Amino acid sequence: MVTAMMMTSATHISRRRLLALTAGSLSFTALPLRAQGARLNVVATTGMIADAARVIGGDRVTVQALMGPGVDPHSYRQTRSDIVALTRADLVLWHGLYLEAQMQDLLHKLAERGPVTAVGESVPRADLIAHEDYENKFDPHVWMVPDLWVHVLHAVRDALTAAAPDDAVLFAANAETYLHRIDRLAEYARDVLASVPPASRVLLTAHDAFNYFGRAYGFEVVGIQGISTESEAGLNRIRTLVDMLVTRDIRAVFVETSVSDRNMRALVEGAAAQGHEVAIGGELFSDAMGEPGTYEGTYPGMIDHNVTTIAAALGGQVPARGMDGRLRTGL
């Protein structure tokens, strides 16, 4: 986040040029007119939001996610095709809370001409974790806790309803069914994570994407990088964490699908050099979900995978293939 907020003047110039061109097209292009009975064309920035829109919208929506598996939303910059999709959408759903840092100006400009909703900002301010260094900036990773993600699901339902009020009953029914599933997911997460011995509840990952997770489930969370992957981990940070692994006898660390594992490998090697064996406890979905068409490519599958993988690696009791036996890899 620090790097994203302190970009070079050259970067600002290039972004201003792109936004100036985009703003011109936005200013003179009429909103798309949806034919009566046609599906609502929804564009979402992240896979998690797109998944919610697909489930709640059902067969009354078509949904496109701009960011796929393994994509880091902190550093993602819109492409020409993204701009076309966004300007043609009946509804744009983005996360907010400075997650899509490089797209924020464009998304605010789009909001001047049509329905654009930052659904992550529906989470009550009192439930957000404030950034330590920047006033009125918050940790955006609220999807890590199903109980918090419920606020976003409500916001998605409401945005769909406002854009297509004739389908309000369907959206409400789909949302209610989905919320029951998320409640069950939240209960599963609480149960399996509570089975991890208290002394082992240390979660060391690539960046600070799991702070809400730690607060909700009683884990100490340590990220090599900060809240944004744009921050850098220096050699002193690596040395400090290696010393922590050794002195506290931490035996497992975790890599992330959307962040390079280079720093994590350095930690494992540094600990090994001091005679301390540390295993990679598994690969977690942090800022993006799994592959489309897979269980892990859905929000429930993403969270099921994460909590099951973490609990198993740190000594908890978990079902072999997660909540409903649907995880692709047995533990």
How confident is the prediction along the chain (331 residues), in pLDDT tens digits per residue? 333 333 333 333 344 444 444 444 444 344 456 666 799 999 999 999 999 999 999 999 999 999 999 999 999 999 999 999 999 999 999 999 999 999 999 999 999 999 999 999 999 999 999 987 778 889 999 999 999 999 999 999 999 999 999 999 999 999 999 999 999 999 999 999 999 999 999 999 887 899 999 999 999 999 887 544 444 445 677 888 899 999 989 988 999 887 778 888 888 899 999 999 999 999 999 999 999 999 999 999 999 999 999 999 999 999 989 999 999 875 5
The reply to whether 197-313 shares the fold of 2-189 is: yes
CA pair distance 54, 289, nearest whole angstrom: 15
Query: Which pTM value belongs to this model?
Result: 0.86
CA pair distance 198, 298, nearest whole angstrom: 30
Q: Domain ranges in the chain?
A: 2-189, 197-313
**What is the CA angle 115-136-288, rounded to 5?**
60
DSSP annotation of 125 reads G
Residue with tokens 């979900």: 289
Look at domain 2-189 and name its CATH class.
alpha beta
| Exposure on the CB side of residue 327, measured as CA atoms within 13 A | 19
CATH code, 197-313 = 3.40.50.1980
DSSP annotation of 15 reads H
CB 255 within 8 A of CB 206: yes
